[in-house]
Amino acid sequence: MKNSLHRIYLSLILFVILCSCNNDDDNTNNQILSGIYTESIPFSGNHQINFINNNSLILKTRNGTDQEFNYESNNNTIILDSTEDASQSWELEINLISNSKFEITNIFYVSIPENPNPVRFVTFEK
């Protein structure tokens, strides 16, 4: 009896430990983007996105221009609304890879129709 009670307690402790452990870097379901992310693919360092808070970001373009946007993210979509020009608004696909990496639909590079491999996503990393 004592032995089986000991096994039950041990099993319960192991269960609690396993449930409390997670790898935050791989937990993208409830991920909040924050801080500065720099483009890594296709061209390293060309653009930066600074997520200031839960609804605004600053995009630093390769020519040094800063553009501020309000954003709303939902599942695999992010909506960007320019704070300076109401006509600039995009709904983009975003794939959260980890807390330090994501890819977003390409709005940075122009693709020509003849290009067999156009840039579909741009990857950013902390």
pLDDT exceeds 70 at position 13: no
pLDDT in the model for residue 116: 82
Locate tokens 């990857």: which residue?
123
pLDDT exceeds 70 at position 2: no
Domain architecture of the chain: domains with CATH: 31-125 (2.40.128)
Structure tokens at 104: 């977003």
Q: What is the C-alpha R_g of the chain?
A: 21
pLDDT in the model for residue 62: 85
Alpha helices (H) along the chain: 2-20
Residues 6+ apart with CB under 8 A from 121: 93, 95, 103, 104, 105, 106
Q: Residues 33-56: pLDDT tens digits?
A: 899 999 999 999 999 999 998 899
C-beta of residue 45 within 8 angstroms of C-beta of residue 39: yes
Pairwise CA distance, residues 27 & 14, whole Å: 21
C-beta of residue 48 within 8 angstroms of C-beta of residue 59: yes
pLDDT in the model for residue 21: 47
Confidence band of 3 (pLDDT split at 50, 70, 90):
low
Average pLDDT over residues 9-31: 45
